[in-house]
Structures are given as structure tokens and as C-alpha cells.
A and B are shown apart, each in its own frame.
Chain A
Amino acid sequence: MTRPKGTLLLKAAAGEGVAAFPRAGLRAVAGLLEQDRFLGPALMVPALAGLLLFVAYPFVYGIWLALSDSYVGRAGSFVGLQNFVQQFRDDIFQKTLANTFEYTIVACVFKFIFGLGMAAALNQRYPLKRFVQAAVLLPWIIPTVLSTLAWLWMFDSTFSVFNYVLKRVGIEGPMWLGERHWPMISLIIVNIWRGTPFFGVCFLAGMQTIPEELYEAARIDGAGSWQKFWHITFPLLIPVTTVVMLLSIILTFADFQLIYVLTRGGPANSSNVLGTLAYWVGIYAGNLGGGAAVSLTMFPVLAVVILLTLLALRRG
């Protein structure tokens, strides 16, 4: 069996102009590729090589940058933890850190609640069900920058459509992007709008895998809708919930686009998150070391969340 195989291969190889390979060598390689312990790593090489070059290397380089005083146009030298010490003393950074946590926690909690509600509402019988289920996912599908620009216009200080409506009922609408705590609230609102469908669809899919018999049995036992939800639906959704929640936390914590487009971190740097602050410090002001340090501050939090996710997946 192997001899004909080898001959054909050689002929093919010659035909392709790769005549340099000695027959024995090719056969040896062919043999190796039959064994899992060689084929496996071989198949993983492209993925690993790419990740090594474009993830692991920049990550390590980023650590070096964070420990240096590199500026745009000037090479840097090692300065130890100076960037980190300075940033933790800086008001803007402290506010940014608090913002990032506030943004993530509040948005994720609401996305969870609304997502559950959305799934519950959509998990019923109504016309055009397929269209509806597809349509509600659009906020998550459409590029964030493009939909956020729509919100930017909707929140405009002069032309806000929300204020237009509020004015009609006699309320003076707020400066959505300019006054006190409103910028953060607006950011969270847009994040919730964008992210709820993700939760909703995952919950919906989870709900649809719950066997109908369970609900039947409960109904026979006299359980009402709320009890059915609380005792059947909710517990069975916990595995889905965990994974979706953890993924969402990662994405929300490391968000950049939404804040950059909606507020640019303003006014006066009061609505920055770690991602946008890293951009202002590193690229705008040219302080590469400082910017890298801000970025790296994300790492511990992400590490904890990823760990929890891996544990949850393992169990699930």
C-alpha cells in the first residue's frame, strides 16, 4: 500500500517541479504525518506561529514599553515602574479606572437582565418570528462605529431627537454628552443597546434546548409562569449565563470604539476608559511608555475573568 502511494506522490511532486525531494525523505515525512503526535502539532503550527508573532511578541514588547520612557520619535530607556507609579497618582487615570469598572459592571448587569427579558419575550408564538429574531440582533451585527455615530447625532447638544421628544412633553432634556454624569450614562445606554441582543439570542438558544416536557410536568403540577421561569428556565440557563456574562465582561472592559466615537473620553477626560486613555496618552500625546502602561493595567482584571471563564467552560 505504501509503495504505490510513495511512487504516485513522487510523480506528482516531480510534476509540480518539486523534484528535489528524495523519495526516502518524502516517505519518512508521510509516515510521520500519520502519527498523531506529529500531525497534531504540525496542524497547529500556522495558528501558533501567527499568535506567537502577532500576540505573544507584542505583549512582551508592550511590557518593555511600559517599563520605559519611550516617546514618539525618541527611543526609550528602562525606567522601572515609574510609569505605573505616576499613573496611579494621576487624577485622570484614577477616574478612568473607576469609569472602566462602572461602565463594565453596570452595562453587563443590565444587558443580562434585558437579555433575559428579550429572550423570554421572543420565546413565544407570534407572526414573522424568524424576521423578528433576525432583526433584533442587528445592533450587535452592525459595525459599532457606524451605529454609534447615529447615537452621537441622537445625543447632539442642539439637535438631540430625545430632547426634541422630551421638550414636547415639557421636560428639558439633559446634555447627554456634556453634563456631569450624563456622558457615562449615555455610554452605558449605547453599550446596553448594542450588547443586549447578544445576551438575548444566547439565552433564547439556551431556552430552546430546554425540553418541553419539563414545562408540561410543571404545568400539570400547577406551576404558574413565574414559577416555571424561576425553577426551570433560570437554573438551566446558568451555564449559558456564565459563559456569556464572562465573555461580555471581557469585551466591555476592553472596549474602545464606542467611547472613542461617542465622547472621545470627554468632556475634559471625564468619561475615558482604559482603552481610550491609552490611546490619548500613547498616540495623541506621544507618550508610548505611559500609554502601554495604561493598557497593561487591563491585564490583571482580564486574567481573572478569563480564568473564571475557563473554569466555567470546563465544568460545562
Chain B
Amino acid sequence: MLRGFTIRRVGGRTLTVYLPVVFIVLVMLFPFYWMLVTSLKPIQELYNKQASPFTVLQPTLAHYRYLFDKTLYLTWLKNTLIITMGSTLISIAVSIPAGYALARLRFPGAATLGWLIFVTYLVPPTLLFIPMMQLVSALGLTDTIWALILVYPTFLTPFGTWLLTGYFRAIPRDMEECALVDGCTKTGAMVRIAMPLAIPGILSVFIFAFTLSWNEFIYALTLVSDASLKTVPVAVQAELIMADAHMWGEIMAAGLLGSIPVALIYSFFVDYFVAGMTAGAVKG
């Protein structure tokens, strides 16, 4: 090992390994550092062209305090959490049986139905939002949290079903077949045997759905207008523009705080997340 440890070798590794990796990490994370610095800058430094944008001389928590005292930020966080959890749970509850059916059961039209669910991606929210407004209004759901809780599963379920179909298929049939022989019903086998084994998959779906739901914008923008019902992404870009000016300190603070739930969940479950992302791509 030490034999190969020449200066040239280290230099080579620096060039081909360390430098690129550091560069990539810097480029990917720089905007977040930027958000942090800006959120801590007092107004005088913020709007001073001479001040260095990279450091803050007199950090202040004033922007954060403003966020919590003078805006509905906590309400927006609460709304986003409720909507995200609600829609995520619904989509999981719906994807599990659907995924199991497509993976395990043989019935006419199975293949077609599977494709049909996937084909939902043909109609992304940007295509549907105008008629969706009318539908939600006809259901009397405009300006309610329910509007989003019920509508979000439409783009969460297809991916969840697809993912879970893959996971269920990957589970060997033996255990379920044993259970069936022992007198278990098919639905029993699904719930008691297959589901516990597919928990990694279910977790992936949960995390993915959570992230996608937290990230959603256009439905939240068009279906809910009441300020006290808004989600964080919509509220941050609309409600923090005051006094002829964007309140950049507050906006960056809000952005950072609003990213934390997703970042936290992500950091605890990175592997599940990556597994979810790559499942479709790699396992195909």
C-alpha cells in the first residue's frame, strides 16, 4: 500500500477524485449556503452593494423572528404538513392494493390497467390545472385543504403503484403460497405476508410521495387562495413581498425552514429514496 503512495499518485488522485467531488458538492450546495447567509444578514448589509455577499458581519435573527411573529408562517407549515401527510397516506393506501394486484394477480385487462395508470403522466398538472379548478369548485372544495389532499394523489399514485408493483414482484411467491395452502385468503396473504415484506418499498413510496407533495406548486397556487390555507411554497413567493420590496431576508429564511422537513426525512432515509428513484430506471 505504502509503496504506491508517491507524490504523483496523490496529485493524480487529487485531480481525478478529490477536486471533481469537491467541485460538484460546492456547486450543488452553494445556493443553500447563500440562503443561509442572506437569511442572517441585517437590512443594512443586505442592500449594500459594497458588502461582501459571502459573509455576514453582524448576523441577526430578525428575519426569522419576523417570520414567526408577523406572518402566518407556522400556519403555512402546518397546512403543508397536513396536506402532505394526508395525500401521501391516501396514495399509499391506494397504491398498495393496486400494486399488489398488478404484481401478483392474473385478471383480464391487468396489463392494460397497469399501463393506464402510468399513462396518467400524459396529463401532468400543468395540463389539468384549469379544468381542475372548475371541478374542485363544482365539488365545493375551493379554498379548502381537502382540495389538495384529494387532488395530490392523482400524481402520487401512478408512481407509487409502479414502484410497488416492482417491489411486490420481487418478493418470492413461496411464503404467500404457503399461507394460501394453510387456508389463508388471498387478501390475507397480501396483508399478512406480502405487505410486511414490501415495507422497504412502501417506505420508498412514502418518502417519494412526501417529497413530491411538499414540492407541489401549481395546484396549491390555483386551488387555494385564502392566505391562511396556503402551503409553504405558494406562501413564500407570494406573501413575503411587502413594502414595494421582496423581503429577501425573510424569503431566504422561509425557504430554508421550509426545506427542513423534506431534508430531514430525506437524510434519514437516503437509501430508500435512492432505491425508489432508481427502481424504475434500473430495475425497469
- A and B touching (C-beta < 8 Å)? yes
Instruction: State the A residues within 8 Å of B (CB).
Output: 1, 30, 33-34, 36-41, 43-44, 46-48, 50-51, 54-55, 57-59, 61-62, 65, 117-118, 121-122, 124-126, 130, 132-139, 141-147, 149-151, 153-154, 158-159, 161, 164, 193, 197-198, 201-202, 205-206, 209, 239-240, 243-244, 247, 250-251, 254-257, 260-261, 274-275, 278-279, 282-283, 288, 291-292, 295-296, 298-299, 302-303, 306, 310, 313, 316
- Of the candidates A121, A136, A244, the one whose C-beta lies within 8 Å of that of B281 is A244
B130 contacts A288, C-beta separation under 8 Å: yes
A65 contacts B17, C-beta separation under 8 Å: no
B185 contacts A147, C-beta separation under 8 Å: no
A161 contacts B53, C-beta separation under 8 Å: yes
B123 contacts A59, C-beta separation under 8 Å: yes
Instruction: State the B residues within 8 Å of A (CB).
Output: 16-18, 20-21, 24-25, 27-29, 31-32, 34-35, 38, 47, 49, 53-54, 93-95, 97-98, 100-102, 105-110, 113, 115-135, 150-151, 153-154, 157-158, 161, 183, 185-187, 190, 211, 214-215, 217-218, 222, 232-234, 236-237, 248, 251-252, 254-256, 258-259, 262-263, 266-267, 270, 273-274, 277-278, 280-282, 284
- Of the candidates B27, B28, B127, the one whose C-beta lies within 8 Å of that of A254 is B127
Closest to B262 in A: A141
Which residues of the partner chain A approach B123 to less than 8 Å between Cβ atoms?
Answer: 55, 58-59, 299, 302
Interface residue SS majority, chain A: helix
A243 contacts B281, C-beta separation under 8 Å: yes
- Of the candidates A37, A46, A132, the one whose C-beta lies within 8 Å of that of B97 is A46
B117 contacts A54, C-beta separation under 8 Å: no
- Of the candidates B16, B133, B151, B161, the one whose C-beta lies within 8 Å of that of A54 is B151
| Interface pairs (12), CB distance under 8 Å | A43-B100, A47-B95, A50-B153, A58-B134, A59-B128, A59-B131, A61-B135, A65-B131, A130-B270, A146-B256, A202-B282, A291-B130
- Of the candidates B32, B121, B134, B258, the one whose C-beta lies within 8 Å of that of A143 is B258
Q: How far is the CA of A310 from the CA of B232 in the complex (A)?
A: 35
Closest to A292 in B: B130
B262 contacts A296, C-beta separation under 8 Å: no
Which residues of the partner chain A approach B222 to less than 8 Å between Cβ atoms?
Answer: 279, 283
Q: How far is the CA of A58 from the CA of B122 in the complex (A)?
A: 13
Q: A132-B21, A299-B122 are in contact. Are A51 and B154 (CB under 8 A)?
A: yes
A255 contacts B278, C-beta separation under 8 Å: no
B120 contacts A51, C-beta separation under 8 Å: yes
- Give 10 A-B pairs besides A117-B20, A243-B281 with Cβ atoms closer than 8 angstroms: A1-B183, A39-B107, A41-B109, A47-B97, A61-B134, A145-B236, A150-B32, A151-B31, A161-B54, A205-B274
Which residues of the partner chain A approach B29 to less than 8 Å between Cβ atoms?
Answer: 135-136, 138
B28 contacts A139, C-beta separation under 8 Å: yes
Which residues of the partner chain A approach B97 to less than 8 Å between Cβ atoms?
Answer: 43-44, 46-47
B21 contacts A142, C-beta separation under 8 Å: no
Closest to A54 in B: B154
A159 contacts B47, C-beta separation under 8 Å: yes
Task: From A46, A48, A51, A126, name the one whose CB has the most chain B CB atoms within 10 angstroms.
Answer: A51
